[in-house]
Protein backbone atom coordinates (compact mmCIF):
# COMPACT_ATOMS: atom_id res chain seq x y z
CA UNK A 1 0.00 0.00 0.00
CA UNK A 2 1.49 3.35 -1.00
CA UNK A 3 1.36 6.44 1.18
CA UNK A 4 -1.19 8.07 -1.09
CA UNK A 5 -3.47 5.02 -1.09
CA UNK A 6 -4.21 5.11 2.62
CA UNK A 7 -4.68 8.85 2.59
CA UNK A 8 -7.07 8.74 -0.36
CA UNK A 9 -8.96 5.78 1.09
CA UNK A 10 -9.23 7.46 4.50
CA UNK A 11 -10.43 10.72 3.00
CA UNK A 12 -13.05 9.00 0.84
CA UNK A 13 -14.20 6.82 3.75
CA UNK A 14 -14.75 9.73 6.11
CA UNK A 15 -16.38 11.79 3.36
CA UNK A 16 -18.86 8.90 3.02
CA UNK A 17 -19.63 8.61 6.74
CA UNK A 18 -19.28 12.26 7.79
CA UNK A 19 -22.98 12.83 8.49
CA UNK A 20 -23.58 9.49 10.20
CA UNK A 21 -20.31 9.68 12.19
CA UNK A 22 -21.40 13.08 13.50
CA UNK A 23 -24.65 11.50 14.71
CA UNK A 24 -22.75 8.71 16.48
CA UNK A 25 -20.39 11.01 18.39
CA UNK A 26 -22.49 14.16 18.87
CA UNK A 27 -23.22 13.42 22.56
CA UNK A 28 -20.34 11.02 23.17
CA UNK A 29 -18.47 13.23 25.59
CA UNK A 30 -21.52 13.62 27.84
CA UNK A 31 -21.47 9.81 28.32
CA UNK A 32 -17.68 9.55 28.78
CA UNK A 33 -16.37 11.20 31.95
CA UNK A 34 -12.92 9.63 31.47
CA UNK A 35 -12.49 11.32 28.11
CA UNK A 36 -13.72 14.59 29.58
CA UNK A 37 -11.14 14.24 32.35
CA UNK A 38 -8.38 13.75 29.76
CA UNK A 39 -9.50 16.83 27.87
CA UNK A 40 -9.74 18.83 31.10
CA UNK A 41 -6.15 17.90 31.94
CA UNK A 42 -5.07 18.91 28.45
CA UNK A 43 -6.86 22.27 28.82
CA UNK A 44 -5.05 22.77 32.11
CA UNK A 45 -1.69 21.95 30.51
CA UNK A 46 -2.36 24.45 27.70
CA UNK A 47 -2.97 27.03 30.40
CA UNK A 48 -4.97 29.60 28.46
CA UNK A 49 -2.44 30.08 25.67
CA UNK A 50 -3.45 29.70 22.00
CA UNK A 51 -4.03 28.66 19.33
CA UNK A 52 -4.44 24.90 19.85
CA UNK A 53 -4.93 22.58 16.89
CA UNK A 54 -7.25 19.55 16.95
CA UNK A 55 -5.69 17.34 14.26
CA UNK A 56 -8.20 14.95 12.69
CA UNK A 57 -11.05 16.83 14.36
CA UNK A 58 -13.86 15.00 12.53
CA UNK A 59 -17.18 16.77 13.12
CA UNK A 60 -15.61 19.11 15.65
CA UNK A 61 -17.31 18.06 18.89
CA UNK A 62 -13.98 17.75 20.75
CA UNK A 63 -12.78 21.10 19.38
CA UNK A 64 -16.03 22.67 20.60
CA UNK A 65 -15.73 20.96 24.00
CA UNK A 66 -12.22 22.38 24.41
CA UNK A 67 -13.45 25.84 23.53
CA UNK A 68 -16.04 25.40 26.27
CA UNK A 69 -13.11 24.78 28.62
CA UNK A 70 -11.56 28.08 27.56
CA UNK A 71 -9.10 26.64 25.04
CA UNK A 72 -8.53 28.68 21.86
CA UNK A 73 -8.92 25.56 19.69
CA UNK A 74 -9.43 25.11 15.95
CA UNK A 75 -9.72 21.92 13.91
CA UNK A 76 -8.23 20.40 10.81
CA UNK A 77 -9.28 17.18 9.10
CA UNK A 78 -8.39 15.25 5.97
CA UNK A 79 -12.05 14.88 4.97
CA UNK A 80 -13.71 17.90 3.33
CA UNK A 81 -17.15 16.49 4.19
CA UNK A 82 -16.18 16.27 7.87
CA UNK A 83 -15.04 19.88 7.76
CA UNK A 84 -18.39 20.88 6.20
CA UNK A 85 -20.21 19.14 9.07
CA UNK A 86 -17.92 20.71 11.69
CA UNK A 87 -18.48 24.21 10.29
CA UNK A 88 -22.24 23.67 10.16
CA UNK A 89 -22.49 22.21 13.67
CA UNK A 90 -20.09 24.67 15.29
CA UNK A 91 -20.39 28.01 13.50
CA UNK A 92 -17.87 30.50 14.73
CA UNK A 93 -15.10 27.93 15.22
CA UNK A 94 -12.30 27.71 12.64
CA UNK A 95 -12.16 24.37 10.77
CA UNK A 96 -9.93 23.68 7.76
CA UNK A 97 -9.14 20.77 5.51
CA UNK A 98 -5.62 19.58 6.28
CA UNK A 99 -3.41 16.52 6.47
CA UNK A 100 -1.43 15.60 9.58
CA UNK A 101 1.29 14.06 7.40
CA UNK A 102 1.90 17.48 5.85
CA UNK A 103 0.73 20.11 8.35
CA UNK A 104 0.23 23.47 6.68
CA UNK A 105 1.05 25.45 9.83
CA UNK A 106 4.03 27.70 10.59
CA UNK A 107 6.87 26.50 12.81
CA UNK A 108 6.30 27.02 16.54
CA UNK A 109 2.85 28.49 15.93
CA UNK A 110 0.68 26.27 18.15
CA UNK A 111 0.25 26.43 21.91
CA UNK A 112 -0.99 22.84 21.97
CA UNK A 113 -1.98 20.00 19.65
CA UNK A 114 -4.20 16.97 20.04
CA UNK A 115 -4.75 13.95 17.84
CA UNK A 116 -7.90 12.37 19.29
CA UNK A 117 -8.35 8.93 17.78
CA UNK A 118 -7.09 10.20 14.41
CA UNK A 119 -3.56 8.78 14.48
CA UNK A 120 -5.30 5.36 14.49
CA UNK A 121 -5.39 5.49 10.69
CA UNK A 122 -1.74 6.45 10.16
CA UNK A 123 0.51 3.50 9.27
CA UNK A 124 3.37 2.74 11.68
CA UNK A 125 6.01 3.73 9.14
CA UNK A 126 4.57 7.25 8.90
CA UNK A 127 4.12 7.94 12.63
CA UNK A 128 7.70 9.20 13.24
CA UNK A 129 7.36 11.82 10.47
CA UNK A 130 3.92 12.83 11.77
CA UNK A 131 5.32 13.34 15.29
CA UNK A 132 8.24 15.33 13.83
CA UNK A 133 5.61 17.55 12.21
CA UNK A 134 3.74 17.92 15.51
CA UNK A 135 6.96 19.03 17.23
CA UNK A 136 7.75 21.48 14.42
CA UNK A 137 4.42 23.34 14.72
CA UNK A 138 4.39 23.40 18.54
CA UNK A 139 5.99 26.16 20.56
CA UNK A 140 8.69 25.16 23.02
CA UNK A 141 6.97 23.96 26.19
CA UNK A 142 3.63 23.29 24.47
CA UNK A 143 1.66 20.09 25.24
CA UNK A 144 0.55 17.36 22.87
CA UNK A 145 -2.21 14.79 23.51
CA UNK A 146 -2.53 11.55 21.55
CA UNK A 147 -5.61 9.35 22.07
CA UNK A 148 -5.89 5.90 20.48
CA UNK A 149 -7.11 2.31 20.69
CA UNK A 150 -4.88 -0.02 22.70
CA UNK A 151 -3.71 -3.33 21.28
CA UNK A 152 -1.35 -5.01 18.87
CA UNK A 153 -3.49 -5.61 15.82
CA UNK A 154 -4.41 -3.61 12.78
CA UNK A 155 -7.54 -4.33 10.81
CA UNK A 156 -9.14 -3.14 7.63
CA UNK A 157 -12.53 -1.60 8.37
CA UNK A 158 -14.81 -1.98 5.36
CA UNK A 159 -18.01 -0.49 6.73
CA UNK A 160 -19.14 1.64 9.61
CA UNK A 161 -21.48 4.12 11.26
CA UNK A 162 -24.69 2.60 9.95
CA UNK A 163 -23.28 0.16 7.40
CA UNK A 164 -21.70 2.71 5.06
CA UNK A 165 -18.79 1.51 2.93
CA UNK A 166 -15.35 2.40 4.25
CA UNK A 167 -11.81 1.33 3.54
CA UNK A 168 -9.65 2.40 6.46
CA UNK A 169 -6.93 0.62 8.34
CA UNK A 170 -7.40 0.94 12.11
CA UNK A 171 -4.17 0.51 14.06
CA UNK A 172 -4.26 -0.41 17.75
CA UNK A 173 -1.08 0.38 19.67
CA UNK A 174 0.63 -0.15 22.99
CA UNK A 175 0.96 3.11 24.97
CA UNK A 176 4.69 2.45 25.53
CA UNK A 177 5.21 2.29 21.81
CA UNK A 178 3.44 5.61 21.24
CA UNK A 179 5.45 7.13 24.11
CA UNK A 180 8.70 5.90 22.52
CA UNK A 181 7.76 7.40 19.16
CA UNK A 182 7.08 10.70 20.94
CA UNK A 183 10.45 10.58 22.72
CA UNK A 184 12.19 9.78 19.44
CA UNK A 185 10.57 12.90 17.95
CA UNK A 186 12.00 15.02 20.76
CA UNK A 187 9.03 15.16 23.14
CA UNK A 188 9.14 14.70 26.88
CA UNK A 189 6.44 12.20 27.82
CA UNK A 190 4.45 13.24 30.89
CA UNK A 191 1.41 11.14 31.67
CA UNK A 192 -0.75 8.39 30.29
CA UNK A 193 -4.38 7.54 30.99
CA UNK A 194 -5.66 4.03 30.34
CA UNK A 195 -9.38 3.76 29.60
CA UNK A 196 -11.97 0.96 29.48
CA UNK A 197 -9.47 -1.63 30.68
CA UNK A 198 -11.97 -4.52 30.68
CA UNK A 199 -13.51 -3.70 27.31
CA UNK A 200 -12.61 -5.47 24.08
CA UNK A 201 -10.74 -2.43 22.84
CA UNK A 202 -9.29 -0.32 25.66
CA UNK A 203 -8.18 3.24 24.99
CA UNK A 204 -5.21 5.34 25.99
CA UNK A 205 -4.32 8.99 26.11
CA UNK A 206 -0.64 9.94 26.20
CA UNK A 207 0.39 13.47 27.19
CA UNK A 208 3.76 14.89 26.24
CA UNK A 209 5.45 18.24 25.84
CA UNK A 210 7.85 19.84 23.43
CA UNK A 211 10.74 20.69 25.77
CA UNK A 212 11.00 24.39 26.64
C1 LIG B 1 -12.17 8.11 14.22
S2 LIG B 1 -12.27 9.74 13.55
C3 LIG B 1 -11.94 10.76 14.99
C4 LIG B 1 -12.57 12.12 14.85
C5 LIG B 1 -12.54 12.94 16.14
N6 LIG B 1 -11.19 13.30 16.51
C7 LIG B 1 -13.20 12.20 17.26
O8 LIG B 1 -12.57 12.01 18.32
O9 LIG B 1 -14.37 11.79 17.10
C10 LIG B 1 -10.72 9.90 12.65
C11 LIG B 1 -10.61 11.24 11.95
O12 LIG B 1 -9.25 11.43 11.55
C13 LIG B 1 -9.23 12.02 10.29
N14 LIG B 1 -7.93 11.74 9.67
C15 LIG B 1 -7.42 10.54 9.32
N16 LIG B 1 -6.21 10.67 8.75
C17 LIG B 1 -5.93 12.01 8.77
C18 LIG B 1 -4.83 12.79 8.32
N19 LIG B 1 -3.78 12.24 7.70
N20 LIG B 1 -4.87 14.13 8.54
C21 LIG B 1 -5.95 14.71 9.13
N22 LIG B 1 -7.03 14.02 9.54
C23 LIG B 1 -7.03 12.69 9.37
C24 LIG B 1 -10.41 11.38 9.58
O25 LIG B 1 -10.82 12.11 8.43
C26 LIG B 1 -11.45 11.35 10.68
O27 LIG B 1 -12.24 12.51 10.71
Q: What mean pLDDT do residues 186-201 have?
A: 96
Q: How far is the CA of 77 from the centre of ligand 1 (A)?
A: 6
Question: What is the 45 CA–ligand 1 centroid distance (Å)?
Answer: 23
Q: CB of 16 within 8 A of CB of 85?
A: no
Q: What is the model's pTM?
A: 0.97
Supply the mean pLDDT for the chain.
96
Task: Decide: 16 in ligand 1 pocket, CB within 6 A.
Answer: no
Q: 62: Cβ below 6 Å to ligand 1?
A: yes
> 153 CA to middle of ligand 1, Å?
19
pLDDT digits (tens, 9 = 90+) for 93-118: 999 999 999 999 999 999 999 999 99
The Å distance, Cα 67 to ligand 1 centre, comes to 19
Distance in angstroms (rounded) separating the CA atoms of residues 119 and 123: 8
Amino acid sequence: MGADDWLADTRTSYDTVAESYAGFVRDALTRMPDLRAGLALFADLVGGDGPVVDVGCGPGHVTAHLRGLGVDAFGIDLSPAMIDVARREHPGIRFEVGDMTDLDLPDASAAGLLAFWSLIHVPDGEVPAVFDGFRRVLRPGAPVLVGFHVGDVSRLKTQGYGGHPMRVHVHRRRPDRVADWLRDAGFTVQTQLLLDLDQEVPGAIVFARRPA
